[in-house]
Amino acid sequence: MNYDKKTVLDVNVHGKKVLLRCDFNVPQDKETGAITSDKRIVAALPTIKYLLENGAAVIACSHLGKPKGVRKESLSLRPVAVRLGELLGCDVIFAEDVIGSDAKTKAAALQSGQIMLLENTRFEPGEEKNDPTLSKELASLAELFVSDAFGSVHRAHASTVGVSAYLPAVSGFLVAKELEIMGKALNDPRRPFVAVLGGAKVSDKINVINNLLDKADTLIIGGGMAYTFVKAQGGSIGTSLLEADKQDYALEMIAKAKEKGVELLLPVDTLAAKEFSPNAEPVTVDTDAIPDGMMGLDIGPKTVEQFCAAVADAGTVVWNGPMGVFEFDAFAGGTRAMAKALADSGAVTIVGGGDSAAAVEQLGFADKMTHISTGGGASLEFLEGKELPGVACLQDR
């Protein structure tokens, strides 16, 4: 896939109405509906400010939650419009619908330097079906489409892909940064290239492992998924996480690594416990000899040393998935050590979205990373080497 796409810098936006797809899928308090983190709104500001300062009229749109094509007041984007206005220091006009009379009237009246926000795109039943009628109606509001919601580019929806059939489509700064940094890491990395994979399940990372074995110099596997690899080689893993039907796959990947000359590192020791609980007592044991009735919940001290040493000499590190149950303090040590090793490495460090991004932020290492991806599912599919429909639809440079 070609990652060299046109951005807002490659087109004239002055005097144009711009449909801007943002990722305003913000976390909210279940009781009050208040926005609990505005990070995704803040992330959209550079593109929005550039467009407004260069004389565009901005029609922003986004989804929020999973209303499944039905209007749900609890998932209205109105609070986002309020917060966006506070951050920009200007009025954000809010449309009560997506392609209805309110949206069309307000979009038609919008002047250069003004911004409006459409209601939740997923209130429209055609959004997730990438319905051409909805796409055409949405596109009719504007003259240019700017994609800046990296967290949604792996979905072929009307507001992420469909509108590009009717409007010239380019990326905003957020998507451009993801493509530049992650694209370079996969296609032309500074070597040695070390990939660190964690998380619970092998099945979530099958295609990622397969793709990275063609690109990386070292592949580190931690987290719950490591125990399937250990068991496949005849180890005893107690009651640790196991995907029994993925053991043959694990052996295939071990063989592929050998064949490709990729160093594949698995945990040699483990912090195990009798129960999955924040109060469980950790015991250090060999990973292939976890006693019956105990489960591995984090990598052990020898493994921490080995994994961190591999990262220390790296030129590029891509990390997706925690090393253990980092939500429990007693089992957060492996993930914390890995985050610190990346921060101290001097390598180009890229943290995939989701749990690993949350861990790095929670542990206080976010500002030491080269890049933290804004898309969980999208960054995973990027690492799998899949074509991302919301990127493929943008104009090539």
Domain holding 258: CATH number? 3.40.50.1260
In this structure, the answer to whether residues 198 and 57 fall within a common structural domain is no
Establish if 395 belongs to a structural domain: no
In this structure, the answer to whether residues 250 and 153 fall within a common structural domain is no
The verdict on whether 201 is a catalytic residue reads yes
Establish if 353 belongs to a structural domain: yes
Q: Strands 289-290 and 263-265, how do they pair?
A: unpaired
The verdict on whether 324 is a catalytic residue reads no
In this structure, the answer to whether residues 188 and 168 fall within a common structural domain is no
Q: Report phi then psi at 341, rounded to 5.
A: -60, -40
Q: What residues contact 259, with CB distance under 8 A and at least 6 apart?
A: none
In this structure, the answer to whether residues 126 and 106 fall within a common structural domain is yes
144, 173, 202 - which closes a domain: 173
173, 197, 222 - which closes a domain: 173
Mean pLDDT value of segment 55-74: 97
Establish if 152 belongs to a structural domain: yes
DSSP 394: S
Establish if 356 belongs to a structural domain: yes
Mean pLDDT value of segment 150-173: 97
Residue pair 123/67 in contact (Cβ under 8 Å)? The answer is: yes
pLDDT of 354 strictly over 80: no
Closest CA to 51 of 20, 85, 29, 82: 20
Residue-wise pLDDT for 193-212, tens only, equals 999 999 888 888 888 999 99
pLDDT band at 313 (very low <50, low <70, confident <90, very high): very high
In this structure, the answer to whether residues 213 and 98 fall within a common structural domain is no
Classify residue 359 by burial, with Cβ atoms within 10 Å: 0-12, 13-18, 19+. Answer: buried
Question: What range does the domain containing 96 cover?
Answer: 8-173
pTM greater than 0.95: no
Classify residue 150 by burial, with Cβ atoms within 10 Å: 0-12, 13-18, 19+. Answer: buried
Q: What share of the chain is helix, strand, coil (3-state, %, to 5)?
A: 40, 15, 45
pLDDT of 166 strictly over 70: yes
Q: What residues contact 261, with CB distance under 8 A and at least 6 apart?
A: none
Q: What residues contact 263, with CB distance under 8 A and at least 6 apart?
A: 217, 218, 219, 257, 310
Residue-wise pLDDT for 7-20, tens only, equals 999 999 999 999 99
In this structure, the answer to whether residues 64 and 149 fall within a common structural domain is yes
Q: Which of 162, 199, 354, 376 is catalytic?
A: 354
Q: Which of 40, 83, 122, 246 is catalytic?
A: 40
Which is more confident, 384 or 196? 196
138, 173, 208 - which closes a domain: 173
The verdict on whether 162 is a catalytic residue reads no
In this structure, the answer to whether residues 72 and 124 fall within a common structural domain is yes
Q: pLDDT at position 353, please? A: 64
Q: What residue ranges in the chain does DSSP mark as E strands?
A: 17-21, 57-61, 92-94, 115-117, 144-147, 169-171, 193-197, 218-221, 236-237, 263-265, 269-273, 283-286, 289-290, 295-299, 316-320, 348-351, 371-372
Residue-wise pLDDT for 17-64, tens only, equals 999 999 999 999 988 889 999 989 999 999 999 999 999 999 999 999
Q: Which two tokens stand for residue 61?
A: 């749109």
pLDDT of 155 strictly over 80: yes
367/211 Cα distance (integer angstroms): 28
In this structure, the answer to whether residues 121 and 267 fall within a common structural domain is no
Which is more confident, 378 or 37? 37
In this structure, the answer to whether residues 163 and 195 fall within a common structural domain is no
Q: pLDDT at position 186, please? A: 85
Q: For the chain, how many structural domains are there in total?
A: 2
Average model confidence (pLDDT) for the chain? 95
Establish if 379 belongs to a structural domain: yes
Establish if 1 belongs to a structural domain: no
In this structure, the answer to whether residues 313 and 197 fall within a common structural domain is yes
In this structure, the answer to whether residues 220 and 163 fall within a common structural domain is no
In this structure, the answer to whether residues 285 and 324 fall within a common structural domain is yes
The verdict on whether 40 is a catalytic residue reads yes
Establish if 391 belongs to a structural domain: no
- Per the listing, tokens 């007041």 go with 73
- Give the neighbor-by-neighbor strand order of the sheet with 169-171: 92-94, 115-117, 57-61, 17-21, 144-147, 169-171
Establish if 397 belongs to a structural domain: no
